Amino acid sequence: MSSANPLLRFVAALALAAGALLGSAAHAATASAIFAGGCFWCTESDFEKLPGVIGAESGYTGGATKTPTYEAVSAGRTGHTQAVRVTYDPTKVSYAQLVEFFWKTIDPTEKDRQFCDSGTQYRSGIYWGSEAERQIVLASHDALQKSGRFKTIYTELAPASSFYLAEEYHQDYYKKNALRYSYYRLNCGRDAQLKRVWK
């Protein structure tokens, strides 16, 4: 029995090491991206329907105030915009595909607003996290500009800065408050305007 103990210990250590490696590989298999498309409830809802997206979190980015609150951001006092941090599987959807998908969920011709929500806190934006992502964002923007579809594109393009999670009641709002969310989205005219903009 004593001679088996070292073998058992070795096998157990090997299993732990393999588990750690698999865990690291699984963690490395995901990536994140930050987008602002006006109301973060809507942007979160749109992205979570996209195959390859693992989840989206509502929050605030692009401002100077640390630990901003919904009340302060909504009042336009912090410089932040409502945004979402999208976690995705790069083997199923690429960053470039996320960017192309995002354009179709906003009206890029609106400055400091989206649909029924106005103010810099509702400005649209794409915030890259690397040089490769920057090149993808700028190329996508340039292609859209050259297409002649829009005279001016106001969507902010900038490096990612601190992202602050919004309060818990904002997370998955479209699921937790489905009726209120549907009523808001309809009255805001988001989908009707998107059809006009992207027809």
By the 8 A CB rule, do 57 and 43 touch? no
Tokens (6 digits) for 36:
């602002």
Catalytic residue flag (residue 116): no
By the 8 A CB rule, do 81 and 125 touch? yes
By the 8 A CB rule, do 51 and 97 touch? no
The residues that bridge with 31 in the sheet, in sequence order, are 88
Residue of 39, 42, 116, 188 with catalytic role:
39
Residue labelled with tokens 């001016």? 152
Give the integer Cα–Cα distance in Å for 52 and 42. 18
Residues labelled catalytic: 39
